[in-house]
Amino acid sequence: MVRWLIALSVGLVGVSSMPAADEVVPQVVLGIHGGLGVDKKDMTPELDKQVRAGLTAALKAGQQRLQEGRPALDAVEAAIRVMEDDPQFNAGRGAVFTHERKNELDASVMDGLTKKAGAVAGVTTIKNPISAARAVMEKSKHVMLIGAGAEVFAKTQGLEIVDPSYFRTEYRWKAINDILEREAAEKNKRGDAGPLLPTVPEYFGTVGAVARDNHGNLAAGTSTGGMTNKAFGRIGDSPIIGAGTYADNAAAAISCTGHGEYFIRYSVSHEIVAQMKYKPTTAKVAAEDVINRQLKEAGGEGAAIVLDKQGNFTTAYNSEGLYRAWMTADGKIEVRIFEK
C-alpha cells in the first residue's frame, strides 16, 4: 500500500506579488487544477478544507488507474470525473449558469502519443462531459460535437444522461440571480445595459488534468461549466484543442483555465508546446512567457498546468491563486491554493 504524504495547510498562506508559478517538480505522474477559485478574502476554512479534499480525491482516482498500468488518458479521465461530480468545482455538477439560467458544459481530451483528440461543447444532460469527449475521440470520426447532437451521441455510447436539474447547486443559482438583478438595476438606471461580467471566481472556473503513464505517454483533459451569465452559444477555450487543452509526447501535456477568449486567440496550450519543441526551451520558461507575458500584456487572466515528457511538472498563473495539486511517482501528493 502506498503511503500518502498529503500537504494540507492548516491556515491560508500569504500570497506574494504576481506573476506566480510553482517550482519545477520532477517525477510527477499526474497533475490537476480546479480553476482560479475564489478570491483569498472569500476563502473560509471550511471551503479550503473541501477544495483540498476534492483535489486529493481526484488525484487518488487517477493514481489508481496508473497503478493498474493503464494509459495516461485513463488517469486524466478518472481525475476529471471526480471533479465534475464535486459541486466545489465549476464543471459537471457545480457548473455555473448562463444568462438564460442554464448549465452548459464543455470538455476536451487529447492523447499525446497519437495526437488524437475529442471534445463536446454546450451540452446540458451528459453527467460527465469528459467521458463524452473521450468517446468522441475514440468512437467517432470527429474531434468536436456540440449541443443536442453531442448528447444523442453520448446516449448511443451508453454514457450516463441526467436531467438538467442535476447540475444545479444553490451557490451557483444565487450567483446568477444576483448578477441578473444587478443587470436589471443597471438597465433601469441607464436605460440600457448589456450583460454584466461576473467576478473573477465565477468567470474563470475550470478543471483539468495532465498525466504521464508507465510507458512515458502523455495525456491532457479539461472540463468546465463556462462563465456565469455567458451569452447564448458562447464557447470558451476548454473544448478547443490547442487553446485550453493540448498533449504531445514530443513536449508536454497542458490544461488551462482562465479568460477563454484570450486563450483561444493566443492558442495558449499549443503555443507552450511549440516553444518547447522549436525554440527549444523548458516547460517553465515557455509557460511563464505565455501566461505571464503574452496574456498579461493583452489583458488576459488565467493559468496553465504543464507536465513535460520527462515528468517535470510546473504551473504558471497571473491571478491571486490557483487550485492545483500533483502526485509524484512515489505517491506523494502536494495540494496548493494560494501558497507558492
**Can you name the residues that pair with 145 across neighbouring β-strands?**
120
Residue of 206, 224, 228, 315 with catalytic role: 206
Better-predicted residue by pLDDT, 339 or 22: 339
Q: Quick check: is 147 in a domain?
A: no
Mean pLDDT across 285-310: 97
| Per-residue pLDDT at 8 exceeds 70 | no
| Per-residue pLDDT at 16 exceeds 50 | no
| Per-residue pLDDT at 13 exceeds 50 | no
Mean pLDDT of the chain: 90
CA dihedral 270, 218, 31, 287 (to 10 degrees): -30
What CATH number should be reported for the domain holding residue 273?
Answer: 3.60.20.30
Question: Do 285 and 251 contact (CB within 8 A), yes or no?
Answer: no
| Per-residue pLDDT at 199 exceeds 60 | no
Q: Quick check: is 261 in a domain?
A: yes
CA angle 236, 242, 246 (to 5 degrees): 110
The whole-number pLDDT of residue 144 equals 98
The whole-number pLDDT of residue 193 equals 53
Q: Which domain holds residue 74?
A: 6-92+106-114+200-336
Q: Quick check: is 190 in a domain?
A: no
* 327 phi and psi angles, rounded to 5 deg: -135, 135
**DSSP secondary structure of 104-150:** -EEEEEEETTT--EEEEEEESSBS-HHHHHHHHHHHSS-SEEEHHHH
Q: Quick check: is 164 in a domain?
A: no
The whole-number pLDDT of residue 6 equals 32
Considering only CA atoms, give the Rg of the chain. Answer: 19
Catalogue the E-assigned strands of the chain: 6-7, 20-21, 28-33, 105-111, 117-123, 144-146, 207-212, 218-224, 245-247, 252-258, 302-308, 313-317, 324-328, 333-336
List the grid coordinates of 298: 493583452
Percent of the chain with pLDDT over 70: 89
Q: Quick check: is 173 in a domain?
A: no
CA angle 154, 155, 159 (to 5 degrees): 70
Over residues 105-145, the pLDDT tens digits come to 999 999 999 999 999 999 999 999 999 999 999 999 999 99
Q: Quick check: is 152 in a domain?
A: no
Question: Do 240 and 271 contact (CB within 8 A), yes or no?
Answer: no
Over residues 27-43, the pLDDT tens digits come to 999 999 999 988 899 89
When divided into structural domains, the chain yields a total of 1
Mean pLDDT across 201-205: 55
Is 206 among the residues known to form the active site?
yes
Q: Quick check: is 22 in a domain?
A: yes
Q: Quick check: is 1 in a domain?
A: no
Report residue 20's pLDDT band, with 50, 70 and 90 as the boundaries.
low
Report residue 340's pLDDT band, with 50, 70 and 90 as the boundaries.
confident
